[in-house]
Chains A and B, each alone.
With several copies, the nearest count.
Chain A
Amino acid sequence: MREIRYLEALSEALREEMRRDSKVIVLGEDVRVSMRGVTKGLLQEFGPDRIYDTPISEAGFTGLATGAAMAGMRPVVEYQINALLFVAFDQLVDQAQKLRYMMGGQGTIPVTYLVPASGARRGLAGQHSDHPYPLLVHMGMKAVMPSTPRDAKGLLKTAIREDDPVVVFAPSALLAMKGPVPEEEYTIPLGRAEVKRPGDDLSIIAVGPLVPEALKAAEQLAQEGISAEVVDPRSLLPLDHETILASVRKTGRVILFDDSNRTCGYAAELAAVIAEEAWESLRAPIRRLTRADVPVPFSPPLESYVLPSRDRLLQEARALLAKV
């Protein structure tokens, strides 16, 4: 199969969906010159009625997308930074996400939010390195975080076709990653986790940019005689409880490997689900390995210290197995 980059996979998905459905329009800052690369060539192919450079008015253009969606369009809104979700927060979680329910199920709000999730890329510091998916899923918003080019393309296409708001987080750290992507049309459904590597002794539930790290760690652990299973939820809401619980039931041990803040973070949710549903199968305490609850600091040694790393994962895995 041909290999393309994660960023190209996103681009392809967007282009294909714009060709497929003339209701798909794109809004965001600097999307016409394509500052971030995903929207490259769209202005040329689809013209100015389908792609809009917005003023620096995130709440405004987020709300505008909601109204356009209620009136039949399928807007894709690109944010330049993860933190811009904070600026538009009310329009996201209190309007776009709630309106359909509050209206008693009238209408649909098919908007896709494309967010460059932090990797964190080195040196972006406190206000450009957040991973705010726990905040959005807490408020009931559908969200995905693909970890491979193939998943990125398939999930973005699904998100655009979904008749509800969906946030697609694209980790900066993965944008240059190459991987196999089918040439033929495909989509990947929401709500399906994928076992990225099977194993028996330990489940590592890894999210987004940490999936490749978890796979490398599993490789290393295999050499040490530890068989780790790596599960990628891919879809954060809806979450595929079954695949995750099946893994934990099989291995009896779990590390939640997630690059969002710890308190009330995504790993907390996974831990709660497992503690409720697979408690009988657990042979060791659940372990969370997350970001520290500080803004990401700028200086490289500080930055590395607060982010979850493969090294710490290896340590945790060994410690967990040693306890047997």
Chain B
Amino acid sequence: MALDKTQLIGLYRTMRLIRRFEERVVELVNRDEIPGVTHEYVGQEAVATGVCAALRPDDVITSTHRGHGHILAKGGDPRRMMAELMGKASGYNRGRGGSMHIADLSLGIYGANGIVGAGAPIACGAALAGKLARSDRVAVSFFGDGGMNQGVVHEALNLAAIWRLPVVFVCENNGYAISAPISEMAVVERLADRAAAYGMPGTSVDGMDVLAVHAAACEAVERARTGAGPTLLECRTYRFVGHFTAEKARGIKYRSDEEIARWRERDPVVTYPAWLRQQGVDPAMVDAEVEALLDEAVAFARQSAFPEAEEALDGMYAVTYPGLPARGW
């Protein structure tokens, strides 16, 4: 699919938005305006961006603990995301979820997830439902190289394969599950090769190249949409920062400075706009736009109120009964 200028700039906008969103999040965590821990998507922007650009609004994604990038790329509202991260009532989850659970069902975002691999079968279910509704909706399940070793991911791959479900499994191989290098956690060199075990196509692409990711994603999405079944798409990428915001404090080290530097040279948020400029496309105005959007998001979140404490017992069930859920006292 040849991209026009607006689309090319759009890819940059999304990547830049994710990068700057994450940088602001780190600041806010460090200033304790965001409680808990967050897992940044810094370095991996080309993956979510390239994949989600291949999707329609009614397509579904399931995300991970490292979900901000996927959600922004799928069209998530930075204001409601930021508000959620601060635990505000105006947040996507009314403050119930925080970073690891942001969801917007109206955009097909079936949630970040705190349990590695857990979203994979959920995506299969959304895909089956789409199929039964005679829609050509597609579901994308994101997970990491670490997630590739979870039993439930294996089961989901097989389920999608045998029922030819319209799913694209996107394995974001950033080389590590926290400190564990994938080279020690799997023997195969290309995780995409595992697709063969399920009789589905597997593709491995450079996850630092947004156009390559996008092209591969378009192909996989097309397969899914036309009823040709699922694909496993491995995107080789890297996270530039720690596993989560708390990592620094733990003083652990498992990657060499050289390795990080080498990958940083391929930073998609730098290399892609440089390439765009070579093509005569100037994306300069995007940066200011993104900054304004994020200023607004942070301001919105800050101004929003915390939820009322008593609301904590609402909404667990769609149908409630006296005494349900039980209070603790």
Interface residues of A (CB under 8 A from B): 25, 29-30, 32-35, 37, 49, 52-57, 59-73, 75, 81, 83, 87, 90-91, 94-95, 99-110, 121-128, 140, 142, 162-164, 190-191, 237-239, 241, 261-263, 288-295, 297-308, 312, 316
Contact = CB atoms under 8 A, between A and B. Distances in A.
Contact of A68 (B95, B128, B156, B323): B128
Interface stretch (B17-25, B215-223, B247-255, B292-300): B247-255
B177 A70 contact: no
B125 A101 contact: no
Nearest to A108: B318
B133 interface: yes
Interface string B301-329: 00000111111111111110111111111
B100 A292 contact: no
Given A55-B159, A64-B124, A125-B101, A33 B93 contact: no
Contacts of B110: 67, 70
B97 A298 contact: yes
A299 B311 CA distance: 11
Interface stretch (B113-121, B189-197, B199-207, B225-233): B113-121
Contacts of B124: 60, 63-64, 67
A103 B101 contact: yes
A53 to B, nearest CB: 5
A95 B312 contact: no
Given A35-B179, A299-B87, A299-B96, A104 B125 contact: no
B68 to A, nearest CB: 15
Contact of A104 (B130, B315, B322): B315
Contacts, number: 316
B105 A125 contact: no
A48 to B, nearest CB: 10
Contacts of B323: 238-239, 241
B174 to A, nearest CB: 14
A101 B250 contact: no
A307 B317 CA distance: 19
A55 B180 contact: yes
Residue of A94, A95, A101, A299 most packed against chain B (CB within 10 A): A299
B30 interface: no
B91 interface: yes
B184 interface: yes
Contact of B126 (A29, A71, A126): A71
Given A32-B179, A67-B123, A306-B328, A57 B312 contact: no
13 contacts: A69-B125, A81-B114, A99-B103, A100-B318, A103-B103, A104-B94, A109-B318, A124-B37, A128-B100, A190-B321, A288-B329, A291-B328, A297-B95
Given A94-B118, A299-B95, A163 B319 contact: yes
Nearest to A289: B329
Given A67-B122, A83-B114, A103-B101, A298 B146 contact: no
Contacts of B325: 140, 292-294
- Max chain A CB contacts within 10 Å: which of B62, B97, B163, B250? B97
Given A57-B149, A103-B101, A298 B121 contact: no
Contact of B316 (A25, A127, A294): A294
Contacts of A53: 179-180, 184
Given A29-B177, A238-B323, A298-B101, A142 B317 contact: yes
Given A66-B121, A123-B35, A312-B329, A104 B126 contact: no
Nearest to A166: B319
Nearest to B314: A105
B96 A292 contact: no
Nearest to A109: B318
Please provide the 4 A-B residue pairs with the shortest distance between their CB atoms, ordered closest to farther: A123-B36, A67-B125, A63-B121, A60-B155
B101 A102 contact: yes
B92, B129, B179, B317: residue with the most chain A Cβ atoms closer than 10 Å: B317
A216 B163 CA distance: 49
A91 B93 contact: no
B138 to A, nearest CB: 12
Contacts of A69: 125
B132 interface: yes
Contacts of A63: 118, 120-122, 124-125, 152, 156
